[in-house]
Amino acid sequence: MFDFDMLGLSPDLNKALTRMGFSEPTPIQNQAIPLAMDGQDILGLAQTGTGKTLAFGLPLVEHLLAEPGRPAPRTAKALILAPTRELVNQIAEALRLLTQDTKLKVTTVVGGQSIGRQISVLSRGTDILVATPGRLIDLMTRGAVDLGQVRHLVLDEADQMLDLGFIHALRRIAPKLGTPRQTMLFSATMPKQMEELSRAYLTDPRRVQVSPPGKAADKITQSVHFLPKAEKPDRLREILSRDLDALTLVFSRTKHGAEKLMKGLVADGYNAASIHGNKSQGQRDRAIKAFRDGTVKVLVATDVAARGIDIPGVAYVINYDLPEVPDNYVHRIGRTARAGREGEAIAFCAPDEADLLHQIQKLMKMDVPVASGTSPLGERGDGGSRPSRGPRSGGGRPGAQPSGKPGGAQKRRRGPRRRAA
């Protein structure tokens, strides 16, 4: 284990780390940063919330500070690809904090925003370009960006890029990049196609891994409620009312379902917002900002947010609908217990979702403790069921002290149901 001040970083970077409150690296940073500082290609396996952005961002910025000259028009020195607009914005925000005291420029290009404005910004060149693959292809096709000067490439959440069908875009982008270059690929899982991707993009990579793929963060208390689908709305409100001040992220399977659920919560007086694919980028950005600031307490989302929200204050994740892709459950609940904090993940499982839960438990190699109801396998939440780790001090929601009855023994302050103004 090293301290950041042992790396011999530039004064501006040391100043930025101090301002951001970083002193000791996380495990993924401890493994990846020294190798990346030496110019090695990196294959990193780690869940979201483990500090990956700094693991690749710190050595990337240090390398760019050592490179002379400003970027030429329509060029970039470094390219970071991420699967969603939210993740692109999150990465760029962290990098702008790192480069605040430098002359390095960070530029984002994503869908859902004015391509004309992006063409104008790129015409001046940039040091670090953070992009979604689809919009980057659009800009390349229009001749708005030349990637021949890129000497640093980062693929973040690469497995999700594959899931979303970006493999063809990656194959179009790769031949346009400059050589030689340093490439860092980070992924939460390692499917066969990911191995093929790493062989195509990386040269003699060093592999770093901090937790087995499919394993949830250690500080997340998990629980599941077995209940009919029709009872989900009432159970959600019961749980939310027990801690009205906590930041709670609620996952719905569909865009329509997320919007309907959010509107119902608002009508019942809960301070809620939603993000999903039918929202404009501006609407999504405003909702996330309000959630981050605490002016919105409940954010209802589809899997567009499963990897795109890094808010340390998220106390609870509720899987209102179980995801159809088991890996997404791990990514969803990883929105809590960020930056070393503790968090709680509560799942609702209707009878037609039993197989989805089975696949999730198979992936994690553990059973999610039953908080209430009876599973098809005969497990029952009867007050004696224990969560996957001990309850947090001060009590918690049903996942911390399960009860077979709604509104069990561990009651918290209930707020009035205020009608929206």
Pick from 130-134, 383-387, 400-404: least confident = 400-404
Q: Which residue has the tokens 């780790």?
A: 389
pLDDT at 253 over 70: yes
* Higher-confidence position of 419 and 373: 373
The amino acid at residue 362 is: K
Question: Is 198:185 a contact under the CB 8 Å cutoff?
Answer: yes
| pLDDT score, position 199 | 83
- Contacts with 241 (C-beta within 8 Å, 6 or more apart), sequence order: 414, 415, 417
| pLDDT score, position 45 | 87
Q: What is the DSSP string of 203-263?
A: SSPEEEESS-TTPPPTTEEEEEEE--GGGHHHHHHHHHHT-TTSEEEEE-SSHHHHHHHHH
The edge-to-edge listing of strands for the beta sheet with 152-155 is 106-109, 126-131, 76-81, 152-155, 182-187, 42-45, 206-209
- The neighbour count for residue 89, using CB atoms within 10 Å, is 19
* Higher-confidence position of 177 and 48: 177
User: Could you tell me the maximum CA-CA distance found in the chain, to the nearest angstrom?
Assistant: 67
pLDDT cut 70: percent of the chain above it: 84
Question: Is 152:119 a contact under the CB 8 Å cutoff?
Answer: no
Q: Please give the Cα distance from 348 to 264 (Å, whole number).
A: 18
| pLDDT score, position 1 | 59
Mean pLDDT of all residues in 212-218: 57
Question: Is 225:349 a contact under the CB 8 Å cutoff?
Answer: yes
Separation of CA 281 from chain center: 17
Query: How far is the CA of 331 from the CAs of 61, 86, 214, 275, 361, in angstroms?
Result: 27, 14, 9, 16, 14
| pLDDT score, position 379 | 58
pLDDT at 251 over 90: yes
Residue ranges of the chain assigned to CATH 3.40.50.300: 4-209, 220-381
* Higher-confidence position of 213 and 222: 222
Work out the pLDDT band at 55, boundaries 50, 70, 90: very high
| pLDDT score, position 380 | 56
Mean pLDDT of all residues in 280-291: 87
| pLDDT score, position 421 | 32
Nearest Cα residue to 402 out of 415, 388, 416, 413: 388
Residue 319's SS3 state is: strand
Q: For 41, what's the count of Cα atoms within 13 Å in the CB-facing half-sphere?
A: 17
Mean pLDDT of all residues in 32-61: 90
Q: Please give the Cα distance from 342 to 12 (Å, whole number).
A: 32
| pLDDT score, position 391 | 35
Beta bridge partners of 202: none
Instruction: Assess if CATH 3.30.930.10 describes domain 220-381.
Output: no
Residues in the chain: 421
The amino acid at residue 169 is: A
Q: Please give the Cα distance from 179 to 284 (Å, whole number).
A: 37
Work out the pLDDT band at 197, boundaries 50, 70, 90: confident
| pLDDT score, position 192 | 73
| pLDDT score, position 350 | 96
- Evaluated on CA atoms 400, 403, 405, 411, the torsion sign reads negative
| pLDDT score, position 401 | 36
Work out the pLDDT band at 396, boundaries 50, 70, 90: very low
CATH superfamily of 4-209: P-loop containing nucleotide triphosphate hydrolases (3.40.50.300)
Instruction: Please provide residue 344's backbone torsions phi and psi, each rounded to the nearest 5 degrees.
Output: -135, 135
For the stretch 216-229, pLDDT in tens is 556 789 999 999 99
